[in-house]
Amino acid sequence: MEDDVLFREIELNGAKVAEIVLNRPDKGNALTFEMLDALSVFCRQVARSQDIRAVVIRGNGRFFCTGGDIKAWGSLTPTEMGQSWILRGIEVLDQIASLPQPVIAALNGHTLGGGLELALAADLRIAVKTAKIGMPEVGLGMIAGWGGVRRMAETVGVARAREFTLLGAPITAEKAETWGLLHAVTEDAAAMEAQIQAWLERLVTNAPIAMALTKGLLRTMHADMRQAFASAAAHAAGTEDCREGVLAFREKRKPVYRNL
């Protein structure tokens, strides 16, 4: 069976660029426990490398990533949700955010929920114009528990983060760019690749240690919120509304929430 996460190194102007590809296109590249483990392994490999100067994360197929696979978390107990799924996801996304190399998230298609949280862990984000960007978790009785709520607020401001996370409705890539959530939007995939190439050519000429130190300084604004997110996700997972949201998703119907 083909791996759900692929890793390769590409030569560019005498340096190396790592490419991580979410490779579950028939499932919208939805993340599983196994995919989180693979991302963690690749992050450790990249972090140890003296040769890799930048990283690109992309999705195979029509989507970048549609979030955490509901089959992976939908049946977990509240404790399992907080301790196993949420804390593990936060750990892996923090590994990505903590890489000494600059990370580019290439949003080749719709980017939702945990997929957006993954993209928010990157330093630069680019999307094709047709991509929709969203955090729909509240519609499932859940929260964006991998630190995405905080990263969203830090990126676009609290007022816009409230609109985005509480309404749960996706926005266009162009609107996401005006908010500062995306650094570039392109007409199509070919134009996106051209822009990524231009970024990479600049990044591999910059001093690696200076970029790593700069990233470290930027990270000082992040407080450790892992336990808070795990506790909130566990609380949400234990509600009747969350059970109804998951069931409705599986039955392909509109959920009926009772605030329980």
Residue-number span of the structural domain to which 16 is assigned: 5-189
Catalytic residue among 137, 154, 193, 201: 137
For the question of residue 137 being annotated catalytic, the response is yes
Is residue 37 in some structural domain?
Answer: yes
Phi, psi angle pair for 20, to nearest 5°: -115, 125
Residue 183 CB neighbour total at 10 angstroms: 17
pLDDT band at residue 1 using 50, 70 and 90 as cut-offs = very low
Is residue 113 in some structural domain?
Answer: yes
Catalytic residue among 2, 19, 91, 117: 117
Identify whether the C-beta of residue 146 lies closer than 8 Å to the C-beta of residue 86.
yes
Is residue 24 in some structural domain?
Answer: yes
Q: What is the pLDDT of residue 221?
A: 73
Q: For the whole model, what pTM was predicted?
A: 0.87
In whole angstroms, what separates CA 257 from the centre of its chain? Answer: 27
Is residue 67 in some structural domain?
Answer: yes
Give me the mean pLDDT over the 164-176 stretch: 96
In three-state secondary structure terms, 54 is strand
Is residue 51 in some structural domain?
Answer: yes
**Amino acid found at 89:** G
Is residue 236 in some structural domain?
Answer: no
For the question of residue 201 being annotated catalytic, the response is no
CATH number at residue 39: 3.90.226.10
For residues 217 and 122, the model is more confident at 122
Is residue 233 in some structural domain?
Answer: no
pLDDT tens column, 7-63: 999 999 889 999 999 999 999 999 999 999 999 999 999 999 999 999 999 999 999
Is residue 248 in some structural domain?
Answer: no
Q: How many domains does the chain have?
A: 1
What does the alpha-carbon distance between residue 129 and residue 149 come to, in Å, rounded to a whole number? 24
